[in-house]
Structure 1
Amino acid sequence: MTEIKFLHIADLHLDSPFIGLKSLPRAIYEQIKEASYRSFQAITKRAIAEKVDFVLISGDIYDKEDRSIKAQVQFYKEMKRLQEAEIDVFLIHGNHDFLEKGKDLILLPENVHTFDEKVSHVTWEGRDGRTSKIYGFSYGSRHILENRTAEYVPDGHADFHIALLHGSELTKSSEHDVYAPFRLEEITRKGFDYWALGHIHKREVLHENPGVYYPGIIQGRNRKESGGKGELLLH
């Protein structure tokens, strides 16, 4: 049976200010501010060690639309490490880091594919002929309030069809604002093998077959974001 191996992450929120912790001693606070970078470095290290075929990033790479140069440099470095390990990356932008001209000041390596504002797909092909078609769209503004799942349609033959979506499942209560809403019953009928979700900061398994997963934020920033979360290794 044909298999693929990939890492799914979302909600990196690089350069998060860690609101509520600024009263800590400065040296400690500065260490905490670096936590999201260290977590991301550990994730790319694992991707390389596991020899994954590719990495999926389902939105909110940066914490703010005005992403800092520091955050962009750190993200570039990790993408470069993956490129050197011959690992491709497929990513979408979410409500925190939506696409906007002039915001991305550093050109990412060629192993990184960024989806634009329209739902589209690209084909990943392994050296042994395995194929995966990967679908997604990036936010073009902070507020995407319409259901975009009708635009996701498996196209042609591939061993696997994988969808990236940064949004909210409507039947579940959440502390997060509702963006790009969808219903689980809708997406599980569409013929995809896996839905790589982002936006919800807790790890949640909404469905097993097909897989519909939220990996959760890579670095908890307060008491509400405690517990197991981060990268998901799928194979």
Structure 2
Amino acid sequence: MLWLDASTAWTASNTPEDISITAFRFIHTADIHLDSPLKSLALRNPELADLVSGATRLAFSGIIDLCISERVDALLIAGDLYDGDQTSMKTARFLAGELGRLAKAGIRTFIIRGNHDALSRISRELVLPDQVKLFGGRAEHVLIERGPGEKPVAIHGLSFAHPTAPDSLLPKYAQAIPDTINIGIMHTSLGGAPGHDSYAPCSPAELQSTGYDYWALGHIHKRSVTNGSSTIVMPGMPQGRDINEDGPKSATLASIGDDGTVSLEEKPTALAEFARVSIDAGGLTEWSDLVHALSDALKQARTHSTAPELVARIGFSGETPLAWRMRRDADLLMAEAEERAAQIGATWIEKLEISCTPPTRNRASATDPLHEIKALIDAEILNSGAYEAALAQLADTLQGQLPSDLRDLFGTDESATKDRRMQLARQGAEDVLARLQSSPGSGSEPS
């Protein structure tokens, strides 16, 4: 194989005989966030944190294995290979070794930097194999000459020069090259998505108008495909890092024929899949019934997951006389959940969320002291400006004592921080009432 840069050419020979030479095949991935630091998960369960912290590397190694086993022509990484300004050269050595495996297999790699890895020291200093093309801050393309009678392939790319890109990058890309398979790699938020800041915004219609055959995108962590004159793919991330990145994760195997036909196949990549498991405890009256429902829900979630490991957040809801006891004995309920998870195997409990309420007919009457306390908390304390000010001061003090990478646990802006404080305050009030409900002399019998 001969590798030349930019507007020159790379000629591919020795294509495996059992793979059609008329199709250009590649793996498309993005948002790998190698060695991303964990936050709240590390505080709750160090063993689980160790599993998840190593999962991004294992997912990336799995992508390399997939490229080799599928004998693709190239690997495309559409930004955020790293999580930030990495300082560990262990990450650099790992990456160089994995990309070296592709180089030995005759597979090219094309990488752009996104908002997270724009300033990465590794991106600037790491010496990558010759078969790896890391696009810079100016748009360019690489032309790949193929076999006799086959269309060449032009891979267009542009890296973020800075961590922010408020304007569209699309005008910087070259026009589609005639009689060529054109593939663009871009890191973009498109028209926006929940939980993602706006970066290099553009619309699918604008991408379609370029005449490119395929747009390999990155940034949004959920997979999406838009068909049309151009096939636009956001592959999602290959490995979730917390419950907000739940669901199956994958990379995309794409094949483009000389006639412009594009075929796609989603390939699972995650070592650990995060999942929200909902349990309706409405009507359950015995603790054993609750545990049985918990066990069934976990088994079902494990069956539906394709990842080697399942990390579950369990949410309980509904009216049940067990509501107070579930809050009071949340540690025992967690132990029950972890025991069932261990029995199922390859299953972890990330957190329990309890939003159950006592049945209406069993709630305290207006003369019950607990009823009066709850009404007072709801009406006069939680909505008090003085209480909110005291709560904010306490949270600010605690936040200031946390390590810098944990300080956004209370929220990333003023509105989110206020909502999070009130959520924690309400949960704390419910927990206090739950303990009072089952305390001697409260006037209520434990459930």
TM-score by length of 2: 0.50
Cα deviation, residue 155, structure 1: 4.7
Corresponding letter in the other structure for 1:41: S
Instruction: Give the greater-gyration-radius structure (CA).
Output: 2
Corresponding letter in the other structure for 1:7: I
Q: In 2, distance between residues paired with 1:18 and 1:54?
A: 31
Aligned counterpart for 2:250 among listed residues 223, 230, 234:
230
Aligned counterpart for 2:30 among listed residues 2, 10, 24:
10
Aligned counterpart for 1:211 among listed residues 222, 227, 231:
231
Matching residue of 2:162? 141
Matching residue of 1:192? 212
Cα deviation, residue 222, structure 1: 1.3
Gap change, CA 1:185 and 1:25, over 3 Å in 2: closer
Cα deviation, residue 158, structure 1: 4.7
Gap change, CA 1:36 and 1:100, over 3 Å in 2: closer
Corresponding letter in the other structure for 2:163: R
Once the two structures are superposed, the pairs formed by residues 85-124 of structure 1 within 5 Å of their partners are: 85-99=105-119, 104-124=124-144
Aligned counterpart for 1:23 among listed residues 38, 43, 47:
43
Aligned counterpart for 2:95 among listed residues 60, 75, 100:
75
Corresponding letter in the other structure for 1:75: L
Q: In 1, distance between residues paired with 2:57 and 2:120?
A: 23
Verify the 8 A CA contact 1:147 1:182 in the aligned structure 2.
yes
Corresponding letter in the other structure for 1:138: S
Q: Does 1:126 align with 2:146?
A: yes
Verify the 8 A CA contact 1:12 1:36 in the aligned structure 2.
yes
State the Cα RMSD in Å.
2.0
Matching residue of 1:65? 85
TM-score by length of 1: 0.92
Mean CA deviation greater in 151-160 or 195-204: 151-160
Matching residue of 1:167? 188
Corresponding letter in the other structure for 1:175: G
Deviations 1:74-128 (A, max 9, x none): 1111100000100001110000000466763320000100111011111123355
Structure 2 unaligned spans of 5+: 1-20, 256-447
Q: In 2, distance between residues paired with 1:162 and 1:88?
A: 14
Mean CA deviation greater in 127-136 or 180-189: 127-136
Gap change, CA 1:225 and 1:102, over 3 Å in 2: closer
Q: In 1, distance between residues paired with 2:38 and 2:224?
A: 23
Cα deviation, residue 217, structure 1: 1.0
Structure 1 unaligned spans of 5+: none
Once the two structures are superposed, the pairs formed by residues 48-59 of structure 1 within 5 Å of their partners are: 48-59=68-79
Partner SS state of residue 4, structure 1: strand
Identity value in percent: 34
Cα deviation, residue 67, structure 1: 4.5
Partner SS state of residue 196, structure 2: coil
Name the count of aligned residue pairs. 234
Mean CA deviation greater in 101-110 or 89-98: 101-110
Verify the 8 A CA contact 2:223 2:235 in the aligned structure 1.
yes
Gap change, CA 1:164 and 1:210, over 3 Å in 2: same
Gap change, CA 1:3 and 1:179, over 3 Å in 2: same
Partner SS state of residue 28, structure 1: helix
Q: In 2, distance between residues paired with 1:218 and 1:161?
A: 25
More helix by share: 2
